[in-house]
Amino acid sequence: MSGLLKAVLAIAGIMGVFGSCFALTTVIERKLLGRMQNRYGPNRVGPCGLLQPVADALKMLIKEDIVPHSADKLLHFLAPLLLTVPVWLSFAVLPFGRNLCAIDLDAGVLFFFAIGSATELAVFMAGWSSQNKYSLIGAMRAIAQMISYEVPLVLSTVPVIMLAGSLSLNAIVAAQGTATAGGLERWNAFTPWGLAGLLLFLIASTAETNRSPFDLPEGESEIIAGFLTEYSGFKYALFFLGEYLGMFALTALAVTLFLGGWHAPFAWLEWAPSWLWFAVKFASLIFVFIWVRATLPRLRLDQLLNFSWRFLVPLCLMNLIVAAAWCWTASWASPAAIPLRWLFCAALIALPGHGLAHVLRGQVPPPRQYHYAE
């Protein structure tokens, strides 16, 4: 019985917290985007506009649900569900605090990525069932993007798994908990391979969740909304929800794998509640996502795919070698060991990175000269 009670509490807790997180994020994102653009965000509904999600939800609920006549009704109905349900499931393995993991699977990371990949099928179902050639092309582009970025996403987590020695997320977090001499915890991001892995993971997850600057599927696909064209009302809201929850899940995974999960940065700060640390790190990564969205324009599809296959994937493979180098040099004992090791490992990844960028840019045109006529 207690197992059932635990399950119900976990489900209610996760859905409650992340559901309200979704609502809050939509309004905070709009307000932050507004502030970065020298304007207020929504500030009319409720204090400081914080009840805006209620207004949005009501609007989505009362909109007419239009299904195209020739659409495949069953697939059209199932696609938003197939997008949202696996994402909710992936929250089950994430440890949000010291004893706050819903299910402690031995293959947590594997489960997470396996379940997360089901969303790509939902995107294709949405595009196919709409019986609209523009939706189909938009959906195919979206899938090309998502599949291309799955590879660096998974590869960037491989060093973490190798060095923690386990696929279980609780074990990975525990491995980042033992403090070093200076009181600094052993977050993976405090190592060169961890830092590089975090950056690669964040870039790949921006692309996985179709966020700027990789939001081609929702932005310009044949100038209509891509695979979302034929969806209105609550189904559109579910797609929206699925996208944001995917972003939350990947952010939570980044925090778990690279930023020490629910650990504090310093050992003497461990008295604060563990879920509070998790929330702080989570919120800062979400802020980075919003910040990037406000600043960068969109990449074109071929540039996007090139970026993934010809830059990110080789760098992820190099990251494995860097992780190995870090472990191999762990035996150095001189006082300047840490900076030297950092320098060595950073060079191991920065130089190939620079070379790859050079190759990717192709023919570098000479720097532009603008001459003036009098």
Partner 1 sequence: MIAPSSSVEPAEAGLASQMLEVSLGPQHPSTHGVFRMDVTLEGETVVKLKPVFGYLHRNHEKIAENFSYLASMPYTDRLDYFCSLTNNWAYALSVEKLTGLAAPERAEYIRVILAELTRLVNHSALAGFLLQDMGALGTPLMYAFRERESILDLFESLTGSRMMCNYMRFGGCRCDLPPGWLEQARGLVARFPSFLDEFEALITNNEIVRARTEGVGVLPAKLAVNAGVTGPMLRASGVNYDIRKVDRYGIYGRMSFRVPLGGRGDVFDRYMVRILEMRESLKILDQALRDIPGGPIMDPKAKLRNLRPKPGEAYGRIEAPKGELGFYLISDGGPNPYRYRVRPPSLINLTILEDMCLGHTVADAVVILGSVDIVLGEVDR
Partner 2 sequence: MNGAGIIKGMIETARNLAGSYYDPGRLTTVQYPEEKLPPVENARTIPFLVYDGADPMAGLRCTACTICEKECPPQCIYIVKDQVKKPDYLGKMQLQPKVFDIDISVCMSCGICAEVCPFDAIKMDQVFELSTDDRFGGLLFDKTKLAKPNDYFAKLHRTEAGETDARREDDKRKAEAAAAARAAAAKESALEGSAP
Contact residues toward partner 1 (CB under 8 A) are: 33, 36-39, 133-134, 212-213, 215-216, 219-220, 222-223, 293-303, 306-307, 310-311, 357, 360-363, 365, 368-374
Q: Which is nearer to partner 1, 69 or 371 (CB)?
A: 371
Q: How far is the CB of 292 from partner 2 (least distance, A)?
A: 7
Q: Which is nearer to partner 1, 32 or 238 (CB)?
A: 32
Residue 339 tokens read as 């900076």
Q: How far is the CB of 321 from partner 2 (least distance, A)?
A: 20
> Which among 219, 285, 289, 209 has a CA at the least distance from the CA of 246?
209
Determine the straight-line distance between the first and last CA of the chain, rounded to whole angstroms: 87
Q: How far is the CB of 202 from partner 2 (least distance, A)?
A: 13
Transcribe 37-54 into DSSP letters. Answer: TTS--S-SSSGGGTTHHH
Residue pair 148/141 in contact by the 8 Å Cβ criterion? no
Question: Which of partner 1, partner 2, none sits in contact with 292, Cβ below 5 to 8 A by type?
Answer: partner 2
Q: How far is the CB of 368 from partner 1 (least distance, A)?
A: 6
User: Side chain identity at 203, as an amino acid letter?
Assistant: I
Q: Which is nearer to partner 2, 34 or 97 (CB)?
A: 34
Question: Which of partner 2, partner 1, none sits in contact with 291, Cβ below 5 to 8 A by type?
Answer: partner 2
Please tell me the distance from the alpha carbon of residue 280 to that of residue 294, in angstroms, as a whole number.
21
> Which among 316, 312, 288 has a CA at the least distance from the CA of 299?
312
Please tell me the distance from the alpha carbon of residue 103 to that of residue 117, in angstroms, as a whole number.
19
Q: Which is nearer to partner 1, 180 or 295 (CB)?
A: 295
Q: Which is nearer to partner 2, 276 or 359 (CB)?
A: 359
Question: Which of partner 2, partner 1, none sits in contact with 32, Cβ below 5 to 8 A by type?
Answer: partner 2
Question: Which of partner 1, partner 2, none sits in contact with 35, Cβ below 5 to 8 A by type?
Answer: partner 2
3-state secondary structure of 71: coil
Q: How far is the CB of 370 from partner 2 (least distance, A)?
A: 18
Q: Which is nearer to partner 2, 43 or 329 (CB)?
A: 43
Please tell me the distance from the alpha carbon of residue 192 to that of residue 324, in angstroms, as a whole number.
11
Residue pair 177/98 in contact by the 8 Å Cβ criterion? no
Q: Alpha-carbon Rg of the chain, whole angstroms? A: 22
Question: Which of partner 1, partner 2, none sits in contact with 166, Cβ below 5 to 8 A by type?
Answer: none
Q: Which is nearer to partner 2, 24 or 294 (CB)?
A: 294
Interface residues with partner 2 (CB under 8 A) are: 32, 35-40, 291-292, 294-296, 353-354, 357
Q: Which is nearer to partner 1, 88 or 240 (CB)?
A: 240
Residues in a beta bridge with 179:
185
For 158-163, the CB contacts below 8 A with 24+ separation are 158/316, 158/320, 159/193, 159/194, 159/197, 159/319, 159/320, 159/322, 159/323, 160/188, 160/194, 160/197, 160/257, 160/258, 161/109, 162/320, 162/323, 163/188, 163/323, 163/327
The set of residues, in sequence order, having a beta carbon less than 8 Å from that of 270 and lying 6+ positions away, is: 263, 264
Q: How far is the CB of 341 from partner 2 (least distance, A)?
A: 23
Alpha helices in 165-233 (DSSP H): 169-175, 192-208
Q: How far is the CB of 40 from partner 2 (least distance, A)?
A: 5
Q: How far is the CB of 275 from partner 1 (least distance, A)?
A: 32
Q: Which is nearer to partner 2, 6 or 354 (CB)?
A: 354
Q: How far is the CB of 316 from partner 2 (least distance, A)?
A: 17
